[in-house]
């Protein structure tokens, strides 16, 4: 089933306790689309970059069967730039710079061949743009999933809430769920966010896994315990890509199948943190992905009788 993704395509500069990068390819849209590309061969990406964005990076997306006709290249403008630094505890990071550049006046064009896709992933970027993409589809997709970030909560909360009211699933990290809801437990936060519109809430807890809330049920997925995590940048977006990529591939949006999709997201995120930036998720094989799915099954299966 077709999948359309919108999100930033960016330059990132990253510093973790294990190393530092100069401007490399990043962006929520990049991570989502690359991750989803392992599940789905029909992916469209809507975004904007400046004229400084290298052709090699666009070719990398194309190599992963990602249709990039929806990426606008703005002459005379610069690409969105984000700089982040992780603490020793890599669940904590400081954003050192967010330069919107070409994202500032981005008016998304949804090419006609994208307008009928059944699955829509609103990756992290301006909430107004996320909403415009929904409005510019010919028909409402079967499933709309969104991700967002504290940055947008801080500067355009009302705009963000309007977009949230239009989606089926929101994927958000624990701190952001607390900020958005004003509640300090995740169960309460999920209830408040549910009342804002989405039927399903995914709360990501970094190296502690993710929770899926919906239909009065909860599912808990672990993160794979890893000896080394070099760079968590994009883990949330990679998770989202695996989640929606799996749903689009199986074309089943029941709660039961969403559990599998949460595991697919966790599998992809576990790879992403193993190397810097997108390095790991551009080189994966189906065999590696299947082996890791098996590890998750092993990690979460037990056979216990009631006492
Ligand atoms: P994550 O680690 O999942 O939060 O995603 C990090 C990615 O999000 C980086 O590649 C950034 O380029 C991108 N990013 C950072 N800030 C923003 C923002 N305010 N809007 C959209 N994308 C962003």
- Write down all domains in the chain, each with its CATH number in brackets: 3-300 (3.40.1190.20)
* pTM attached to this predicted model: 0.97
Expressed in angstroms and rounded, the spacing between residue 171 Cα and the centre of ligand 1 is 14
Nearest CA to ligand 1 atom 1: 234
pLDDT at 212: 98
pLDDT at 1: 78
Burial class (CB in 10 A: 0-12, 13-18, 19+), 137: middle
Mutation test of ligand 1: which of 5, 7, 10 has the most ligand atoms closer than 8 Å to its C-beta? 10
Ligand 1: lining residues by beta carbon, under 6 Å: 8, 10, 12, 26-28, 82, 98, 124-125, 149, 151, 233-237
pLDDT averaged over 10-residue windows placed end to end, the chain, 307 residues: 96 95 96 98 96 98 98 98 94 94 97 97 98 98 97 97 98 96 97 98 94 98 92 97 98 98 98 96 98 97 93
pLDDT at 242: 98
DSSP states of 54-120: -HHHHHHHHHTTEEEEEEEEETT----EEEEEE-SSTT-EEEEEEE-GGGTT------GGGTT-SEE
Expressed in angstroms and rounded, the spacing between residue 166 Cα and the centre of ligand 1 is 22
Question: In this structure, what DSSP letter does residue 206 have?
Answer: G
């Amino acid at each position: 089933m077709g999948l359309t993704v919108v999100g930033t395509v960016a330059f990132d500069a990253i510093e973790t306790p294990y190393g530092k990068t100069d401007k490399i390819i990043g962006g929520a849209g990049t991570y989502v689309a690359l991750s989803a590309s392992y599940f789905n061969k029909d992916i469209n990406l809507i975004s904007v970059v400046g004229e400084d964005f290298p052709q090699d990076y666009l070719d990398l997306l194309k190599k992963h069967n990602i249709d990039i006709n929806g990426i606008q290249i703005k002459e005379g403008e610069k690409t969105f730039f984000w700089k982040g630094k992780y603490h020793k505890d890599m669940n904590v990071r400081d954003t050192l710079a967010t330069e919107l550049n070409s994202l500032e006046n981005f008016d998304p064009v949804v090419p006609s061949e994208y307008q009928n896709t059944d699955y829509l992933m609103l990756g992290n970027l301006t909430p107004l743009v996320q909403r415009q993409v929904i409005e510019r589809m010919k028909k409402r997709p079967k499933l709309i999933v969104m991700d967002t970030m504290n940055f947008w909560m801080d500067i355009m909360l009302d705009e963000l809430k309007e977009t949230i009211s239009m989606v089926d699933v929101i994927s958000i990290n624990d701190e952001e769920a607390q900020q958005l809801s004003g509640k300090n437990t995740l169960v309460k936060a999920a209830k408040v966010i549910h009342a804002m519109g989405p039927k399903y809430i995914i709360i990501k807890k970094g190296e502690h896994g993710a929770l899926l809330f919906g239909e009065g049920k909860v599912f808990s997925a672990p993160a794979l315990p890893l000896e080394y995590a070099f760079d968590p940048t994009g883990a949330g977006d990679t998770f989202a890509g695996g989640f929606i990529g799996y749903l689009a591939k199986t074309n089943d949006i029941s709660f039961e199948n969403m559990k599998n999709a949460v595991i697919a997201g966790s599998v992809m995120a576990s790879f992403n943190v193993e190397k810097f930036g997108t390095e790991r998720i551009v080189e994966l094989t189906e065999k590696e992905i299947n082996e890791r799915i098996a590890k998750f099954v092993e990690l979460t299966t037990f056979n216990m009788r009631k006492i």
